[in-house]
Structure 1
Amino acid sequence: MTIDEVVLLLKASQATGLTTLQELILRSSWEGKTYTNIASEAHYCEEHVKKVATHLWEVLSNFCKEPINKSTFRQTLENYRLSKAHQQLVKEFNKAATAISLEFPSGPVSLNSRLYIPRPSIEELAYAEMSELGSVICIKAPKKMGKSSLILRLLVRANNQGFHTVTLDFQQADKAVFASLDKFLCWFCTKVSRELQLEPKLNDYWDEDMGSKVSCSIYFQEYLLSALSSPLVLVLNEVDWVFEYQEIAGELLSLIRTWREQAKSVEIWQKLRLILVYSTEILVPRKLTQSPFNIGLTINLPPFTKEQVQDLALRHGLDWTDGKDAESLMAMVGGYPYLVRLAFYHLVGKGGLEGDLEQLLQQAPTETGIYNEYLRQFVLALGDELEVGNAFYEVINATNSVNLEPVLAYKLQSMGLINLEGDRCTPVCELYRLYFRQYLKKTENFNSGCFNCEFRCG
């Protein structure tokens, strides 16, 4: 069992569910924290925490038919397999809970959501790196792969450690902000200042003779970082929006490299922890395609595994323990989190009724399928990039893997449309192959540019 399964089991079996304190005790004990640590985090006296914990160990001992205490809790439960009766109990609980509050898969998965699938190895790696002096983390994945959900949890961890946190989303910046490097960095510094509830003081630190990058660095070093008593975790979200402005993007990345280097020798720069988040679906300009983010630790978010898909099915109240339904769904959509979650959203209705997976998969690559709106966005993007569209046309119509020009292969991989192994390209999933084959067949003049026009107007 995982800790999430332990929590679900107790929520399902207890008439009153689990209190916030009870869940905190379970999760913290699983991580090896002491009662003193737990009491401090929960703002309860240690004796009360021990009393509540004792009751939890008794309940779990009854489930497992063997004594369980804090020291044996994780070891015992990790090796324990849910009985069929317990599996049914959890299934019914999930189905009832899902019927009441089914979440449409849009935006980050909330902190208290039952539908969040942990990625322990990735999360722990990111947590550890964020604690390093002057660290830089680059989180890379196409849209709807779970970047926002991971960032949400990183920020909570940072806040719990007493760090300051600021998130900048470059999508929110007006186009005028990108008119020049100076204007962009002034906006950048002003925005961070206001997020930290500090009065912007650019006039005191900005020097045209020294240039924008040096002025920005001085502003951070002598004003922003000096004003903070604890580290600052600065999240730069949707960084690839800056790629439309190649000169600014190159200078920004150069500036971040400089800050990371300064952290090795200048103590105050060790306070800054940067997290760069970028959706590689946006086509990267050629000048920036050669490892623009080789600055710090790069984290690539992978698709869900079969086990994670089965876990998510269980959280939706579906019994997919034999693995056959999980295999059928993954044969169509791979393990892409959004595609998987959207399938579950439609399979489990508000009334807790199970939909027909076979019918959903049959309709998936058609205009009546649940993925049509999502896939049409790619259609438009490919229509705007005819050379890239032609390359993808070749991939989906080939019986074997295809060798593409490296830049085109990189762009298609960045969009999340192909898998790239060495120099060989294949579609990411059967859904893409079937859907785009269908529409590319309809467009005889694709090579002359009518592909995009048909879908914009059709």
Structure 2
Amino acid sequence: MTIEEILLTLELTLNPIDLNPVQELVIHQAWEGKTYSQIAETAGYSADYIKSVGSQLWQWLSNLLGEPVTKRNFRSVLKRRARQLQERIPQPHTSISHPQAWSESLPRCFFGRAEELATLKKWIVQDRCRLVAIIGMTGIGKTALTVRCAEQIESEFDYVIWRSLQQVPPIDDFLVDWLRVLSNGQEIDLPQETNSKISLLLTYLQKYRCLLVIDDCELVLQKHQGYAQLLQQIGEKYHQSCLLFTSRQTSSDLRFNEKDGSPIRSLTLTGLSLAEAREILRVAGVSCSQSVADRLIERYASNPLALKIIATVIRDLFNRDVTQFLAQDICIFDQLGGVLNEQLTRLTALEWQVKCLQMIYRE
């Protein structure tokens, strides 16, 4: 039993546990057998201050559990009480809520991303991160990676809920949707305030092990404060669930909290490797020498969507002749132009200025 599992058990069965960062540090380090002096040296505090925090912490636990708790005995006391209290936690009614078009979201062929997939699974299942972002430009494969990850780890969760925010509903409607799923349709009289709905959602995320997935999250991070507040609280508050979201960019508030051991992490996707990108061309029916393929791949920065679009154009309009296509020195067709235009419309004024300067200097 880990200290995180024990604290969750206490919170579910007794009173809400709201430890400040120093208290969390002391209880986690003390659980590992560190002395007050060692904890103080690691955290940059004085040993007397850490000892005072520890004393208050053991007193608080003593009051909470109704028996003496000290640094010397708190491991055995918490383990024993957690085992007793776990019997009082109701078992979940397992329910998997897939996206309406889960199968349609899957790519016909999933190319590469073995390392990224392994990283996500480790963060979510093993490290039990509370908030994970997949960041990358349009067409880089964020949704495909997210779907593949969710499919492979869904058995680890009591609930899996997938939602796309291409059409952004009001935050209260979005929360009501999630709450209805997590309560098996039993929640009828929901609170009116957004903050109260988020608090109720966090209660379910503490009670059950849930995987919540939000695809296309960048618009709400930029323009909808309620969604940003939801993500921030899910990342900061203690619970046993995970929210996985995709975005072209993340907010500065979430990035600020990313560090080793943090429950908030992000994975930035770049282009595929040359071998993986060549496989896209092969599957699309475009064959050429490796050097020619690599020239094409480099031109489109190994972007999976761009390569799929260009491969279709080469097959249909250039009789599968990649060399002839490259000789035209054409980079944008209708579909690819739409993808790029969508990306460009999201640039800030400052980002536009930088892009213009880049083009001027390139000329």
**TM-score category of the 2 structures, normalised to the smaller one:** 0.5 to 0.7
Q: CA deviation at 1:215?
A: 4.9
2:231 is aligned with 1:253: yes
State the match for 2:200 in structure 1: 218
State the match for 1:33 in structure 2: none
State the match for 1:298 in structure 2: 266
Q: CA deviation at 1:193?
A: 2.9
Q: Give the 5 Å matches for 1:66-215.
A: 108-110=105-107, 113=108, 115-132=109-126, 133=128, 135-161=130-156, 163-174=158-169, 177=170, 184=171, 186-196=172-182, 198-199=184-185, 201=187, 203=189, 206=191, 212-213=194-195, 215=197
State the match for 2:5 in structure 1: none
State the match for 1:276 in structure 2: 245
Q: CA deviation at 1:394?
A: 0.8
Which amino acid in the other structure matches residue 235 of structure 1? V
Q: Distance in 1 between matches of 2:335 and 2:222?
A: 32
Kept in 1: contact 2:129–2:265 (CA 8 A): no
Q: Give the 5 Å matches for 1:422-433.
A: none
TM-score of the pair, normalised by structure 1: 0.48
Provide, for residues 257-301 of structure 1, a one-character-per-residue CA deviation record: whole Å limited to 9, x for no partner.
332xx1xxxxxx22x122122123xxx78xx47826735221111
Q: 1:277 to 1:293 in 2, by over 3 A?
A: farther
State the match for 2:290 in structure 1: 323
Q: Give the 5 Å matches for 1:356-367.
A: 356-363=321-328, 365=330
State the match for 1:344 in structure 2: 311
Unaligned stretches of 5+ in structure 1?
A: 1-106, 178-183, 263-268, 400-436, 438-458
In structure 1, the residue corresponding to 2:111 is in which secondary structure? coil
Q: Distance in 1 between matches of 2:271 and 2:218?
A: 21
State the match for 1:389 in structure 2: 352
User: Identity of aligned pairs, percent?
Assistant: 13
Q: 1:319 to 1:137 in 2, by over 3 A?
A: same
Which amino acid in the other structure matches residue 199 of structure 2? S
Q: Distance in 2 between matches of 1:218 and 1:197?
A: 10
Q: Distance in 2 between matches of 1:235 and 1:121?
A: 20
Unaligned stretches of 5+ in structure 2?
A: 1-103
In structure 1, the residue corresponding to 2:244 is in which secondary structure? strand
Kept in 2: contact 1:305–1:335 (CA 8 A): yes
TM-score of the pair, normalised by structure 2: 0.59
In structure 2, the residue corresponding to 1:299 is in which secondary structure? strand
State the match for 1:235 in structure 2: 213
Kept in 2: contact 1:193–1:224 (CA 8 A): no
Kept in 2: contact 1:140–1:278 (CA 8 A): yes
In structure 2, the residue corresponding to 1:344 is in which secondary structure? helix
Q: 1:163 to 1:324 in 2, by over 3 A?
A: farther
In structure 2, the residue corresponding to 1:203 is in which secondary structure? coil
Q: 1:243 to 1:128 in 2, by over 3 A?
A: closer
Q: CA deviation at 1:392?
A: 0.8
Provide, for residues 27-57 of structure 1, a one-character-per-residue CA deviation record: whole Å limited to 9, x for no partner.
xxxxxxxxxxxxxxxxxxxxxxxxxxxxxxx
Q: CA deviation at 1:395?
A: 0.6
Q: Distance in 2 between matches of 1:170 and 1:293?
A: 24
Q: Distance in 1 between matches of 2:329 and 2:257?
A: 35
Q: Distance in 1 between matches of 2:122 and 2:343?
A: 36
Give the number of equivalent residue pairs.
255
Q: CA deviation at 1:160?
A: 4.1
CA RMSD of aligned residues (A): 3.4
State the match for 1:307 in structure 2: 275
Q: 1:296 to 1:330 in 2, by over 3 A?
A: same
Kept in 2: contact 1:159–1:165 (CA 8 A): yes
Q: 1:159 to 1:243 in 2, by over 3 A?
A: closer
Q: 1:298 to 1:161 in 2, by over 3 A?
A: same
